[in-house]
Amino acid sequence: MKALRRLLLLGLVPLSGCHTVLMSPSGDLALQQRDLIISSLILMLLIVVPVIIMALVFAWRYRASNKKARHDPDWDHSTMLELLIWSAPLLIIIALGALTWVSTHKLDPYRPLDRIAAGKPIPADVKPLEVDVVALDWKWLFIYPEQNMAVVNELAAPVDRPIQFRITASTVMNSFFIPALAGQIYAMPGMETQLQAVINKPGQFDGFSANFSGDGFSHMNFIFHGLSESDFAQWVQKVKAGSGELSRDEYVKLAQNSENVPVHYYDGVAPGLFMAIMGNCVPAGSVCVDNKSAAPSGEEGAMGSGHDSSGMAAMPTAQTQ
């Protein structure tokens, strides 16, 4: 099985050019998704390859010039052939269905991670790194609640530490995608989607929006840094030496349409800003999307409870590809 997987990877190299990050990721979740793709492909090839071979063999064997081929114009049924034709695809469909069922639950982006890597469970004393992600026009804003800081168009996380992303958008739908880390997750205005992931190797990895969102869409790129714990602590100190707090007024300016925005650091974040962004009620006096008034600056916004007006928990939608 391992040899067959290696052959498939080699066969996919010409199709992917020089950039094979999807087939050689650095995060455990993306690695499991890669294995799912390969396993599904192998199962489908078990029926596709024999059918192609048989089609070529039959065409050659029963060609008009082959006088040795048996011609039986009255043949109409073979129980053995019927069993073979129907049982093989049925077994493949059952196997694919079981694989899909298990993987759908195991790789649910909302599901907390149960391991850092294969054979490496999450230590009991490790707390996930929380990152709030906002897709703006046309840039990315990353808020670190625990560190009380924010970064534009740059993201970092320690190696082998779970990351918990909460994702939303300011105006139109985008798609948050770091191929080396995990599958893409939609970022939608007025909604919160989530992604649980972990990076297992240090390095710099490309991140971008995988959903067209207007003129500046092609510039919605950022670098994701996988760092050691000490390097991450140094990076946090660099961010904390940034240029002031990301207040609500500052966010309103940042949210305006702009392209090719350079990396920018904020050494503080207005309380409740992410929930106010999701409720579209950042400016003072604005009304949140749940028809409740926005909370004053310094308090959590009306959307901060994560519930709608009736008190029922909101039902966010996530999609991973």
Question: Domain with 172 in it: what CATH number?
Answer: 2.60.40.420
Q: Which of 150-164, 194-208, 247-261, 279-293 has the lowest mean pLDDT?
A: 279-293
| Mean pLDDT computed over every residue of the chain | 85
Q: Is the peptide bond before 235 cis (omega within 30 degrees of 0)?
A: no
Query: What letters, b where the CB count within 10 A reaches 16 and e where it falls short, cover 266-285?
Result: bbebbbbbbbbbbbbbbeee
Of all residues in the chain, the percent with pLDDT exceeding 90 is: 64
165 within 8 A of 157, measured Cβ to Cβ? no
In a domain, 99, yes or no: yes
Same-domain status, 123 and 253: yes
Same domain (yes/no): 88, 187: no
Per-residue pLDDT band at 293 (split at 50, 70, 90): very low
- Identify the three-state secondary structure at position 178: coil
88 and 137 share one domain: no
Domain check: are 93 and 156 in the same one? no
With cut-offs at 50, 70 and 90, classify the pLDDT of residue 6: low
C-alpha Rg value of the chain to the nearest Å: 26
d(CA 71, CA 62): 9
Residue 281 has pLDDT above 50, yes or no: yes
- pLDDT at residue 190 greater than cutoff 50: yes
91 and 177 belong to one structural domain? no
**Residue 48's domain spans which residues?**
22-61+80-107
Domain count for the chain = 2
What whole-number distance in Å separates Cα of residue 232 and Cα of residue 198?
14
H/E stretch holding 41 reads helix 28-61
6 vs 291 pLDDT, higher one: 6
pLDDT in tens, 9-46: 555 544 444 468 888 899 999 999 999 999 999 999 99
The arithmetic mean of pLDDT across residues 48-60, rounded, is 92
